[in-house]
Amino acid sequence: MSAGRAILHCDLDAFYASVEQRDHPEYRGRPVIVGGAPGDRGVVSAASYEARAFGVRSAMPLRTAGRLCPDGIFVPGDRERYEEASDRVMALFAERTPLVQPISLDEAFLDVTATEHLFGGAVATARALKTAVREQCGLVLSVGVASNKLCAKVASDLRKPDGLVVVPRGGEAEFLAPLPLSRLWGVGPRTQAVLEGWGLRTIGDLARFDPATLEARLGDHGGTLGARARGQDDDPVEPEGGVKSVGHEITFDRNTLDTRVIESTLLRLAEGVGQRLRAASLRGRTIHLKLRVAPFETRTRQRTLPVPTDDDLTVFRVARSLLREALAADREAGRASPVRLVGVSASGLDSAQQLGLFDSARTARLNAALDAVRSKFGDAALDRASVRDSTQRKRFADGPKLHGS
């Protein structure tokens, strides 16, 4: 997308039912209904797309679902498994931007305005997330891409399952115009009946309706609905409790004991962390190193700095020191643990509104220049000498295989 905000709305398709189908291969391709037994008095929590073909919908009484789909697979649901799956997906979102606003277990808004250049643009970010969620979590993601939350949300709902809908910047009103009034935020059944009583049927009809008359009849809500119908929405993406950490990690194609390869990878990861911190005007006080070693053991180390930083090399030097400490501990214990995954993250985040006491203006200017070059020519445009390993450079130019951190 061109200059301006870039917002994604990411929505996991038939989430609870999809987790059940993922975890029970025998359920795949069959109608799955989550919520309880068909004779229970409760309601449907989720229905697979196979069940929806029979007319089963969320919030429908289970007894009704049982009549519509007598051969369906009815399961009570497992909140703990759903939360675990949601956490994994949200971690993938956080790899692309620190500005993630979860709406529920299965959907979130992402503001990728400041970080889209790191991943090839908003649309490329959306495609990469769809692939990552499918390959790493076994779930299907629909994504809407727009300049605001309203249009991104509407877009993500249009082509489910497995949809990707992009609303061109400047084309928000045109995108919304042919859609029914029920698609617009704030138009419930009662408001829809009122608007239809005035002869309005589509969002475009509402957008063309006289704003003064709309506000006179519906008050402030009328003015809000008119603005939304014209595709106007300035609501920010607000992470729950603020951004907690910024990180990257990568899984090697093969386990490795080659320190040069691991440290070269660490530098690339640290550069990514630094770029994202600066893009979000944040600095991290605590640097974390994550290692996954054979056979499948995860190890973590961390170090807190006297002042927070957003500098690539500072992040790298701390992470490299933690790595060397971990490898030295292995040698002292008489073991060698091949590394499968390595990750770097920064937490203890503060706003970077001004230079800290020990910050270097020269370093800040250098980082700003590097960011500008990479933004224009791509992440592989500039290589520090210690990262000039052709295999690693190609892997990062193509985009690292990211996991949650």
Query: How many other CB atoms are found less than 10 A from the CB of residue 298?
Result: 11
Query: Of the candidates 289, 293, 351, which has an alpha carbon nearest to the alpha carbon of residue 316?
Result: 289
- Give 155's Cβ-side CA count (13 Å radius): 28
Task: Tell me if residue 90 falls in helix, strand or coil.
Answer: helix
Are 31 and 73 a contacting pair, CB within 8 Å?
yes
- Could you tell me where the beta strands, DSSP code E, fall in 116-244? 141-146, 164-166
* Alpha carbons 343 and 291: distance in angstroms, whole number: 7
The one catalytic residue among 107, 116, 172, 249: 107
Q: Which long-range contacts (CB under 8 A, 24 or more apart) does 265-269 make?
A: 265/342, 265/392, 266/316, 266/319, 266/320, 266/323, 266/342, 266/344, 267/312, 267/316, 267/320, 267/384, 267/386, 267/387, 268/387, 268/392, 268/396, 268/400, 269/319, 269/342, 269/343, 269/344, 269/400
Our answer to whether residue 107 is catalytic in this structure is yes
Query: Of the candidates 225, 170, 233, 234, which has an alpha carbon nearest to the alpha carbon of residue 203?
Result: 225
Catalytic residue set: 107
